[in-house]
Structure 1
Amino acid sequence: MTQTNFSEDQSFLASLALAMVEKPRANLNELANAIGVSKATLYRFCRTRNELIERLTNYSSKVLIETIEDSLSDADPSIEALKRLADNLLTHSEFTLFFIHYWQSENPVIQALDQRWTTTLDSFFLRGQQAGLFRIDITAPALTELWISIIIGFIDAEGRGRVARAGLSTLIVTAFLQGTAVGVLSN
Protein backbone atom coordinates (compact mmCIF):
# COMPACT_ATOMS: atom_id res chain seq x y z
CA MET A 1 0.00 0.00 0.00
CA THR A 2 1.40 3.38 -0.94
CA GLN A 3 1.35 6.27 1.45
CA THR A 4 -0.15 9.50 0.16
CA ASN A 5 2.08 12.55 0.44
CA PHE A 6 -0.20 15.34 1.64
CA SER A 7 2.51 18.01 1.91
CA GLU A 8 1.66 19.38 -1.57
CA ASP A 9 -1.88 17.99 -2.01
CA GLN A 10 -3.82 21.20 -2.50
CA SER A 11 -7.22 19.61 -1.94
CA PHE A 12 -6.10 18.08 1.37
CA LEU A 13 -4.46 21.32 2.48
CA ALA A 14 -7.47 23.44 1.48
CA SER A 15 -9.78 21.12 3.43
CA LEU A 16 -7.46 21.28 6.41
CA ALA A 17 -7.19 25.09 6.26
CA LEU A 18 -10.98 25.38 6.13
CA ALA A 19 -11.40 22.92 9.01
CA MET A 20 -8.95 25.00 11.08
CA VAL A 21 -11.12 28.07 10.41
CA GLU A 22 -14.43 26.35 11.06
CA LYS A 23 -13.18 24.50 14.15
CA PRO A 24 -10.48 26.75 15.60
CA ARG A 25 -10.34 24.88 18.92
CA ALA A 26 -10.46 21.37 17.45
CA ASN A 27 -7.78 18.88 18.42
CA LEU A 28 -5.96 16.80 15.80
CA ASN A 29 -8.47 13.95 16.07
CA GLU A 30 -11.41 16.31 15.50
CA LEU A 31 -9.62 17.95 12.57
CA ALA A 32 -8.84 14.54 11.07
CA ASN A 33 -12.52 13.57 11.33
CA ALA A 34 -13.59 16.89 9.81
CA ILE A 35 -11.51 16.30 6.68
CA GLY A 36 -12.10 12.54 6.42
CA VAL A 37 -8.67 11.14 7.29
CA SER A 38 -7.47 9.12 10.24
CA LYS A 39 -5.80 10.75 13.20
CA ALA A 40 -2.68 8.73 12.35
CA THR A 41 -2.63 10.19 8.85
CA LEU A 42 -2.95 13.74 10.15
CA TYR A 43 -0.37 13.02 12.86
CA ARG A 44 2.12 11.85 10.22
CA PHE A 45 1.53 15.14 8.41
CA CYS A 46 1.84 17.28 11.57
CA ARG A 47 2.41 16.21 15.15
CA THR A 48 1.09 19.38 16.82
CA ARG A 49 -1.39 22.19 16.20
CA ASN A 50 1.50 24.66 16.11
CA GLU A 51 3.26 22.62 13.45
CA LEU A 52 -0.01 22.38 11.54
CA ILE A 53 -0.51 26.15 11.67
CA GLU A 54 3.08 26.70 10.56
CA ARG A 55 2.79 24.30 7.61
CA LEU A 56 -0.54 25.79 6.52
CA THR A 57 0.87 29.30 6.86
CA ASN A 58 3.83 28.39 4.65
CA TYR A 59 1.70 26.64 2.05
CA SER A 60 -1.03 29.31 2.06
CA SER A 61 1.63 31.98 1.63
CA LYS A 62 3.06 30.16 -1.39
CA VAL A 63 -0.35 29.68 -3.01
CA LEU A 64 -1.53 33.24 -2.44
CA ILE A 65 1.61 34.96 -3.69
CA GLU A 66 1.71 32.72 -6.78
CA THR A 67 -1.96 33.50 -7.39
CA ILE A 68 -1.40 37.25 -7.15
CA GLU A 69 1.76 37.27 -9.25
CA ASP A 70 0.34 34.92 -11.91
CA SER A 71 -2.93 36.87 -12.14
CA LEU A 72 -1.12 40.16 -12.64
CA SER A 73 1.81 38.81 -14.68
CA ASP A 74 1.15 40.73 -17.86
CA ALA A 75 2.74 44.18 -17.93
CA ASP A 76 -0.43 45.98 -18.96
CA PRO A 77 -2.93 46.66 -16.19
CA SER A 78 -6.54 45.97 -17.06
CA ILE A 79 -9.94 45.36 -15.57
CA GLU A 80 -9.59 41.81 -16.95
CA ALA A 81 -6.44 41.30 -14.84
CA LEU A 82 -8.30 42.56 -11.76
CA LYS A 83 -11.20 40.19 -12.53
CA ARG A 84 -8.74 37.32 -13.08
CA LEU A 85 -7.16 38.12 -9.71
CA ALA A 86 -10.54 38.08 -7.95
CA ASP A 87 -11.48 34.79 -9.66
CA ASN A 88 -8.18 33.16 -8.74
CA LEU A 89 -8.24 34.37 -5.14
CA LEU A 90 -11.78 33.01 -4.78
CA THR A 91 -10.54 29.68 -6.13
CA HIS A 92 -8.14 29.60 -3.18
CA SER A 93 -10.46 31.20 -0.63
CA GLU A 94 -9.73 28.54 2.00
CA PHE A 95 -6.15 29.79 2.24
CA THR A 96 -7.29 33.41 2.45
CA LEU A 97 -9.74 32.49 5.23
CA PHE A 98 -6.94 30.66 7.01
CA PHE A 99 -4.81 33.82 6.87
CA ILE A 100 -7.67 35.97 8.14
CA HIS A 101 -8.08 33.76 11.20
CA TYR A 102 -4.43 32.93 11.91
CA TRP A 103 -2.74 36.21 10.92
CA GLN A 104 0.29 36.96 13.09
CA SER A 105 2.03 40.10 11.89
CA GLU A 106 5.27 39.16 13.67
CA ASN A 107 5.56 35.87 11.72
CA PRO A 108 8.42 36.26 9.18
CA VAL A 109 6.55 34.17 6.57
CA ILE A 110 3.55 36.47 6.82
CA GLN A 111 5.76 39.57 6.78
CA ALA A 112 7.42 38.33 3.58
CA LEU A 113 4.05 37.54 2.00
CA ASP A 114 2.68 40.94 2.97
CA GLN A 115 5.72 42.64 1.42
CA ARG A 116 5.49 40.66 -1.84
CA TRP A 117 1.77 41.04 -2.37
CA THR A 118 1.73 44.75 -1.51
CA THR A 119 4.69 45.38 -3.83
CA THR A 120 3.02 43.44 -6.65
CA LEU A 121 -0.35 45.15 -6.16
CA ASP A 122 1.20 48.61 -5.69
CA SER A 123 3.03 48.18 -9.02
CA PHE A 124 -0.13 46.98 -10.76
CA PHE A 125 -2.17 49.94 -9.50
CA LEU A 126 0.60 52.43 -10.32
CA ARG A 127 0.76 51.11 -13.90
CA GLY A 128 -3.03 51.37 -14.01
CA GLN A 129 -2.88 54.99 -12.87
CA GLN A 130 -0.24 55.76 -15.50
CA ALA A 131 -2.49 54.14 -18.13
CA GLY A 132 -5.48 56.24 -17.00
CA LEU A 133 -7.38 53.26 -15.62
CA PHE A 134 -7.44 54.27 -11.94
CA ARG A 135 -7.81 57.62 -10.24
CA ILE A 136 -4.57 59.42 -9.47
CA ASP A 137 -5.89 61.24 -6.41
CA ILE A 138 -5.70 57.94 -4.50
CA THR A 139 -2.17 56.62 -4.08
CA ALA A 140 -1.24 53.18 -5.41
CA PRO A 141 -0.63 51.88 -1.84
CA ALA A 142 -4.08 53.16 -0.85
CA LEU A 143 -5.60 51.35 -3.85
CA THR A 144 -3.79 48.19 -2.71
CA GLU A 145 -5.24 48.53 0.79
CA LEU A 146 -8.73 49.13 -0.62
CA TRP A 147 -8.44 46.06 -2.85
CA ILE A 148 -7.12 43.84 -0.04
CA SER A 149 -9.86 45.03 2.33
CA ILE A 150 -12.62 44.41 -0.20
CA ILE A 151 -11.39 40.97 -1.27
CA ILE A 152 -10.78 39.79 2.31
CA GLY A 153 -14.10 41.20 3.46
CA PHE A 154 -16.07 39.42 0.76
CA ILE A 155 -14.18 36.13 1.11
CA ASP A 156 -14.84 36.22 4.84
CA ALA A 157 -18.51 37.11 4.25
CA GLU A 158 -18.87 34.22 1.79
CA GLY A 159 -17.22 31.87 4.29
CA ARG A 160 -19.73 32.94 6.94
CA GLY A 161 -22.64 32.46 4.53
CA ARG A 162 -23.44 36.18 4.26
CA VAL A 163 -22.94 36.37 0.49
CA ALA A 164 -23.22 33.73 -2.22
CA ARG A 165 -20.26 32.58 -4.30
CA ALA A 166 -22.20 33.04 -7.53
CA GLY A 167 -21.26 36.38 -9.04
CA LEU A 168 -18.93 37.22 -6.16
CA SER A 169 -15.94 37.96 -8.36
CA THR A 170 -17.94 40.50 -10.35
CA LEU A 171 -19.29 42.02 -7.14
CA ILE A 172 -15.75 42.41 -5.75
CA VAL A 173 -14.41 44.09 -8.88
CA THR A 174 -17.49 46.31 -9.21
CA ALA A 175 -17.33 47.36 -5.56
CA PHE A 176 -13.67 48.22 -5.95
CA LEU A 177 -14.02 50.09 -9.23
CA GLN A 178 -16.95 52.23 -8.13
CA GLY A 179 -14.52 54.12 -5.93
CA THR A 180 -11.41 53.94 -8.10
CA ALA A 181 -12.42 54.21 -11.74
CA VAL A 182 -11.47 57.45 -13.45
CA GLY A 183 -14.29 59.99 -13.36
CA VAL A 184 -16.46 58.20 -10.79
CA LEU A 185 -17.28 60.11 -7.62
CA SER A 186 -14.05 62.12 -7.83
CA ASN A 187 -14.08 65.02 -5.42
Structure 2
Amino acid sequence: MAPDDERLLKLLTTAIVNHPRATMKDLAVLAGVSKATLNRHYGTRANLEYQLEAHAKGVLAQITRTAELHSAEPLHALQYLIKEHLTHRDMLALLLFENRPKTPPLENEESYAKDLDAFFLRGQHLGVFRIDISAAAFTELFINLVYGMVDAERRGRAASSRSASTLVQIFLHGSVASAASNLPE
Protein backbone atom coordinates (compact mmCIF):
# COMPACT_ATOMS: atom_id res chain seq x y z
CA MET A 1 0.00 0.00 0.00
CA ALA A 2 1.31 3.42 -0.92
CA PRO A 3 2.16 5.72 2.01
CA ASP A 4 -0.44 8.27 0.85
CA ASP A 5 -3.14 5.56 0.75
CA GLU A 6 -2.18 4.41 4.24
CA ARG A 7 -2.18 7.99 5.50
CA LEU A 8 -5.66 8.55 4.02
CA LEU A 9 -6.95 5.33 5.60
CA LYS A 10 -5.59 6.41 8.97
CA LEU A 11 -7.20 9.85 8.66
CA LEU A 12 -10.50 8.28 7.60
CA THR A 13 -10.32 5.79 10.47
CA THR A 14 -9.90 8.62 12.97
CA ALA A 15 -12.69 10.58 11.30
CA ILE A 16 -15.17 7.71 11.28
CA VAL A 17 -14.35 6.65 14.86
CA ASN A 18 -14.81 10.21 16.16
CA HIS A 19 -17.81 10.96 13.92
CA PRO A 20 -19.57 7.63 13.28
CA ARG A 21 -22.63 9.22 11.69
CA ALA A 22 -20.69 11.54 9.39
CA THR A 23 -21.65 11.58 5.73
CA MET A 24 -19.13 10.82 2.99
CA LYS A 25 -18.86 14.59 2.45
CA ASP A 26 -18.18 15.14 6.17
CA LEU A 27 -15.59 12.36 6.20
CA ALA A 28 -13.87 13.85 3.17
CA VAL A 29 -13.62 17.23 4.91
CA LEU A 30 -12.34 15.62 8.12
CA ALA A 31 -9.70 13.68 6.16
CA GLY A 32 -8.69 16.75 4.15
CA VAL A 33 -9.70 15.42 0.74
CA SER A 34 -12.51 16.22 -1.65
CA LYS A 35 -15.70 14.20 -1.73
CA ALA A 36 -14.85 13.32 -5.34
CA THR A 37 -11.51 11.85 -4.23
CA LEU A 38 -13.23 9.85 -1.51
CA ASN A 39 -15.84 8.57 -3.97
CA ARG A 40 -13.17 7.75 -6.56
CA HIS A 41 -11.18 5.70 -4.04
CA TYR A 42 -14.02 3.99 -2.18
CA GLY A 43 -17.31 4.58 -3.99
CA THR A 44 -19.81 3.91 -1.23
CA ARG A 45 -19.81 4.29 2.53
CA ALA A 46 -20.16 0.51 2.85
CA ASN A 47 -17.07 -0.04 0.69
CA LEU A 48 -15.16 2.58 2.68
CA GLU A 49 -16.06 0.83 5.93
CA TYR A 50 -15.07 -2.55 4.48
CA GLN A 51 -11.69 -1.12 3.36
CA LEU A 52 -11.11 0.49 6.75
CA GLU A 53 -11.90 -2.76 8.55
CA ALA A 54 -9.62 -4.74 6.23
CA HIS A 55 -6.84 -2.21 6.79
CA ALA A 56 -7.31 -2.29 10.58
CA LYS A 57 -7.13 -6.08 10.61
CA GLY A 58 -4.04 -5.89 8.42
CA VAL A 59 -2.43 -3.52 10.91
CA LEU A 60 -3.09 -6.01 13.72
CA ALA A 61 -1.52 -8.80 11.68
CA GLN A 62 1.48 -6.55 10.99
CA ILE A 63 1.88 -5.89 14.72
CA THR A 64 2.12 -9.61 15.46
CA ARG A 65 4.63 -10.09 12.63
CA THR A 66 6.92 -7.28 13.78
CA ALA A 67 6.69 -8.32 17.44
CA GLU A 68 8.81 -11.39 16.70
CA LEU A 69 6.44 -13.46 18.82
CA HIS A 70 8.20 -16.71 17.92
CA SER A 71 11.66 -15.60 19.01
CA ALA A 72 11.64 -12.46 21.17
CA GLU A 73 11.85 -12.64 24.94
CA PRO A 74 8.18 -12.93 26.00
CA LEU A 75 8.05 -9.97 28.39
CA HIS A 76 9.63 -7.65 25.81
CA ALA A 77 7.30 -8.97 23.13
CA LEU A 78 4.30 -8.41 25.42
CA GLN A 79 5.36 -4.81 26.08
CA TYR A 80 5.85 -4.29 22.34
CA LEU A 81 2.40 -5.77 21.60
CA ILE A 82 0.74 -3.45 24.11
CA LYS A 83 2.64 -0.38 22.87
CA GLU A 84 1.84 -1.08 19.23
CA HIS A 85 -1.83 -1.88 19.87
CA LEU A 86 -2.17 1.45 21.70
CA THR A 87 -0.30 3.26 18.94
CA HIS A 88 -3.11 2.14 16.64
CA ARG A 89 -5.96 2.80 19.09
CA ASP A 90 -8.22 4.30 16.40
CA MET A 91 -7.92 1.07 14.40
CA LEU A 92 -8.92 -0.89 17.50
CA ALA A 93 -11.80 1.47 18.19
CA LEU A 94 -12.98 1.05 14.62
CA LEU A 95 -12.98 -2.74 14.92
CA LEU A 96 -14.64 -2.66 18.32
CA PHE A 97 -17.23 0.06 18.15
CA GLU A 98 -18.41 0.55 14.61
CA ASN A 99 -21.93 -0.59 13.86
CA ARG A 100 -21.61 -1.94 10.35
CA PRO A 101 -22.78 -5.05 8.63
CA LYS A 102 -20.62 -8.04 9.42
CA THR A 103 -18.00 -8.49 6.75
CA PRO A 104 -16.68 -11.93 5.91
CA PRO A 105 -13.71 -12.91 8.10
CA LEU A 106 -10.40 -11.95 6.62
CA GLU A 107 -7.54 -14.40 6.33
CA ASN A 108 -5.28 -12.32 8.60
CA GLU A 109 -7.94 -12.20 11.33
CA GLU A 110 -7.50 -15.90 12.07
CA SER A 111 -3.72 -15.72 11.92
CA TYR A 112 -3.76 -12.81 14.41
CA ALA A 113 -5.40 -14.96 17.11
CA LYS A 114 -3.28 -17.99 16.21
CA ASP A 115 -0.10 -15.91 16.46
CA LEU A 116 -1.11 -14.65 19.90
CA ASP A 117 -2.08 -18.18 21.01
CA ALA A 118 1.34 -19.50 19.90
CA PHE A 119 3.09 -16.60 21.65
CA PHE A 120 1.38 -17.24 24.97
CA LEU A 121 1.95 -21.00 24.67
CA ARG A 122 5.66 -20.37 24.01
CA GLY A 123 5.74 -18.08 27.06
CA GLN A 124 4.15 -20.83 29.12
CA HIS A 125 6.75 -23.36 27.93
CA LEU A 126 9.50 -20.92 28.90
CA GLY A 127 7.96 -20.50 32.38
CA VAL A 128 7.11 -16.83 31.88
CA PHE A 129 3.30 -17.16 31.82
CA ARG A 130 1.13 -19.27 34.11
CA ILE A 131 0.30 -22.77 32.90
CA ASP A 132 -3.04 -23.05 34.71
CA ILE A 133 -4.63 -20.68 32.16
CA SER A 134 -4.84 -21.81 28.54
CA ALA A 135 -2.94 -19.92 25.85
CA ALA A 136 -6.29 -19.24 24.12
CA ALA A 137 -7.63 -17.71 27.35
CA PHE A 138 -4.50 -15.52 27.59
CA THR A 139 -5.16 -14.35 24.02
CA GLU A 140 -8.77 -13.48 24.83
CA LEU A 141 -7.77 -11.72 28.06
CA PHE A 142 -5.05 -9.76 26.26
CA ILE A 143 -7.37 -8.65 23.46
CA ASN A 144 -10.15 -7.71 25.86
CA LEU A 145 -7.84 -5.80 28.20
CA VAL A 146 -6.34 -3.80 25.33
CA TYR A 147 -9.72 -3.08 23.74
CA GLY A 148 -11.17 -2.25 27.17
CA MET A 149 -8.40 0.25 27.81
CA VAL A 150 -8.99 1.90 24.43
CA ASP A 151 -12.68 2.16 25.30
CA ALA A 152 -11.87 3.61 28.75
CA GLU A 153 -9.59 6.22 27.14
CA ARG A 154 -12.29 7.21 24.65
CA ARG A 155 -14.79 7.68 27.48
CA GLY A 156 -12.30 9.69 29.56
CA ARG A 157 -12.01 7.05 32.28
CA ALA A 158 -8.32 6.25 31.71
CA ALA A 159 -5.35 8.43 30.85
CA SER A 160 -3.75 7.42 27.58
CA SER A 161 -0.32 8.36 28.97
CA ARG A 162 -0.64 5.57 31.57
CA SER A 163 -2.44 2.94 29.50
CA ALA A 164 0.58 0.90 28.43
CA SER A 165 2.08 0.63 31.92
CA THR A 166 -1.35 -0.10 33.41
CA LEU A 167 -1.94 -2.91 30.94
CA VAL A 168 1.49 -4.46 31.56
CA GLN A 169 0.98 -4.31 35.34
CA ILE A 170 -2.55 -5.76 35.26
CA PHE A 171 -1.68 -8.43 32.72
CA LEU A 172 1.48 -9.59 34.48
CA HIS A 173 0.61 -8.97 38.13
CA GLY A 174 -3.18 -8.87 38.34
CA SER A 175 -5.12 -6.39 40.40
CA VAL A 176 -4.32 -7.61 43.92
CA ALA A 177 -2.02 -5.40 45.99
CA SER A 178 1.03 -7.23 47.29
CA ALA A 179 -0.18 -6.87 50.91
CA ALA A 180 -3.43 -8.61 49.96
CA SER A 181 -1.79 -11.39 48.00
CA ASN A 182 -2.71 -14.01 50.60
CA LEU A 183 -6.47 -13.65 49.91
CA PRO A 184 -8.39 -16.88 49.27
CA GLU A 185 -9.21 -17.80 45.68
Matched, 1:155 2:118: no
RMSD: 2.7
Amino acid at match of 1:170: S
Amino acid at match of 1:168: S
Quote the Cα distance in structure 2 between the aligned partners of 1:77 and 1:125: 11
> Which blocks of at least 5 consecutive residues in structure 2 are unaligned?
176-180
Matched, 1:90 2:86: yes
2:35 match:
39
1:11 match:
7
1:95-120: CA deviations, max 9, x gaps?
1111112377953334x343211111
2:68 match:
72
Structure 1 residues 184 and 86: alpha-carbon distance in aligned structure 2, compared to 1, 3 A threshold? farther
What's the secondary structure of 2:105's corresponding residue?
helix
Deviates more, 1:16-25 or 1:66-75: 66-75
**Contact 1:126/1:140 (CA < 8 Å) preserved in 2?**
yes
Using the size of structure 2 for normalisation, the TM-score is: 0.85
Quote the Cα distance in structure 1 between the aligned partners of 2:39 and 2:56: 20
Structure 1 residues 140 and 74: alpha-carbon distance in aligned structure 2, compared to 1, 3 A threshold? closer
Pairing of 1:117-156 with structure 2 (within 5 A): 117-156=112-151
Using the size of structure 1 for normalisation, the TM-score is: 0.84
- Aligned pairs, how many? 180
The Cα of 1:75 is off from its aligned counterpart by 1.7
1:100 match:
96
1:16-38: CA deviations, max 9, x gaps?
11211222121100111222222
Amino acid at match of 1:155: V
The Cα of 1:135 is off from its aligned counterpart by 0.9
Quote the Cα distance in structure 2 between the aligned partners of 1:40 and 1:19: 17
1:171 match:
166
Structure 1 residues 7 and 84: alpha-carbon distance in aligned structure 2, compared to 1, 3 A threshold? closer
**Contact 1:68/1:85 (CA < 8 Å) preserved in 2?**
yes
Quote the Cα distance in structure 2 between the aligned partners of 1:166 and 1:25: 28
Amino acid at match of 1:52: L
> Which blocks of at least 5 consecutive residues in structure 1 are unaligned?
none
From 44, 48, 66, the counterpart of 1:48: 44
From 19, 38, 48, the counterpart of 1:23: 19
Structure 1 residues 9 and 137: alpha-carbon distance in aligned structure 2, compared to 1, 3 A threshold? same
The Cα of 1:124 is off from its aligned counterpart by 0.6
Quote the Cα distance in structure 2 between the aligned partners of 1:116 and 1:69: 10
